[in-house]
Structure 1
Amino acid sequence: MQPSKKKILKAKTMKNIVRKIAAIIEREDREEELEVCQKEDDYWREAGEGIMSRAAKKREEKSKKLEAAAARKAENRLLAKLEVEKLTATRHTEKLKKQEEEAARKAEFLAELEKERLESTVEWDW
């Protein structure tokens, strides 16, 4: 016995319906998988951006620290230069003071000598 045309048509229709339902289910599964993959990609992208931004922050902090260290070093050099100039100026003023004192002593000594000479000439004149 062969199946009737009606049964064959019914079986073909059922087969097509089952195939369409399977295709719909498969498409929905793929869409869900795609959504899951996209969510996972978004998660890792954000995590990667976070890692990169942290690395960028660290690089920025490091460069700021290096700049601050360079500024402190330059400031220390300037302070050392100023200290040397100050010491040099102090030594120079001390040297000038000594020279002035020495000149004053010499002038005083010469004045005394001149006074003595004048006194001695005055004494001899009598």
Structure 2
Amino acid sequence: NLKSKFGGILDAYLDRIADFLIIFGIFLAYGIDTISSIAFLIALLGCIMPSYIYHLSGIRSDLFGRDVRLFIVFIGGILATLNKEFLLYTLLFIGIYMNVGAISFLLQARKKG
């Protein structure tokens, strides 16, 4: 079990690339239109901001982690087999939920000083 600072940085970098590709894949699978483009951007910000704010503030919550995002994608993928609209709902849910988490981290950081 080898660990290095570079390994941690590389892992975080590859996680962000994977997050982007997953969100982009959902976006493409749903289809490109105005609402899906907005949902894509909101979801993309929601994937990046919690880890960025955590890095700067040290404030973290298991409720807004990558595992939760991937679980939401998993559920959305299953539901999308019933109706393609669930792909859009998945993007919107990820975007809104994760940005709420990022905002809560900001508020906690503000209280912390």
Q: TM-score range by the shorter chain?
A: under 0.3
Larger-gyration structure (1/2):
1
TM-score by length of 1: 0.24
TM-score by length of 2: 0.27
